[in-house]
Amino acid sequence: MEKIKVGIVGGTGYTGVELLRLLARHPQVQLQVITSRGEAGLPVADMFPSLRGVVDLTFSDPTTIDLSQCDVVFFATPHGVAMSQAPALVAAGVKVIDLAADFRLQDAAEFEKWYKLPHSCTDILEQSVYGLPELYADEVAHAQVIGNPGCYPTTVLLGLAPLLQNGWIDFSAPIIADAKSGVSGAGRKAEVSTLFSEASDNLKAYGVAGHRHHPEILAQLKKLSGNDAVNLIFVPHLIPMIRGMLTTLHVKLNAEGAKQALQAVYEQHYQDDYFVDVMPVGALPETRSVRGSNFLRMALYPQANDYVTIIVVQDNLVKGASGQAVQNMNIMFGLASDTGLQVLPLLP
């Protein structure tokens, strides 16, 4: 098999450098180009010394590069960039994987409401696939455009998928998602709230009145359950660590005997999904157990009054972003989904 020619648009942020880290050692990838308007002409390794001797590319000006020579282009860019370039790439037969939100919400009006941008290619949006491989691998395999899921939605949806698909959730009670993310989730930019003196030694909620991942999660919950009556309470928090995400889900069950069957059902559901680890009864997932890897771990805790608590952890930059994007690329090109992603977590 010829190597996959890869382009990355917007390579100076955390998801961009994470893509480079993973793709540089991918056995079936040839890195072709990485763009940056502000850093054009700068060797990648000068900005990211961790890639010295591994990535010899120089940042290119996106206005001077023909991305149609690539087989797939990853967009590690702000919202709105991918949809402005997707039509030309799609017409040229190039596959597109967007790590922003341009192709996550199938409802263009909902996208415009939350992201304050008009959607410029609704025809491509209609054909795009929500790239959560454990749920939509068949669709991903045949897709040309992927909307890579948000980090929080990945933990919530994979944590709830077996319950949703078995119809075991009592929707008369809200699904509660209490989620916490490391500071890298805010991106690589200068912002007061993410300064060391602001974020360190501190824990705070944000987006309580409305977070952009809320409609994304809700749309997928409705799709997976076939029920429009889903009620979701989602509260994200910023924790004083660089990378990592822990989401605690509280759900009311509606099926007699469901609590007793939960562990077996979850283990069976994810038995063929390499990156999803359903931990033993009584385990407590920790963010450090997935740091730097594409693994997602979860544990189940039945509670009183037909409730269950599900604890889910992942690395927000890997399974929550770039690793999942590479996983999608693998499936799109007929490779095993774990190709180039068998990176063990870092401990300590």
User: What residues act catalytically?
Assistant: 151
Quick one: angle between helices 133-141 and 323-332, nearest 10? 40
Query: In Å, how far from its chain's centre is CA 147?
Result: 9
What separation in angstroms does the CA of 209 have from each of 55, 183, 236? 42, 20, 11
Backbone angles phi, psi at 116, to 5 degrees: 55, 35
Report the distance separating Cα 14 and Cα 57, nearest Å. 17
Angular region, 201: left φ>0, alpha ψ -120 to 50, beta rest:
left
Gyration radius of the chain's alpha carbons: 20
Strand order in the sheet with 129-130: 29-35, 4-9, 72-75, 95-98, 145-147, 129-130
Asked if 103 contacts 74 with a C-beta cutoff of 8 angstroms, the reply is: no
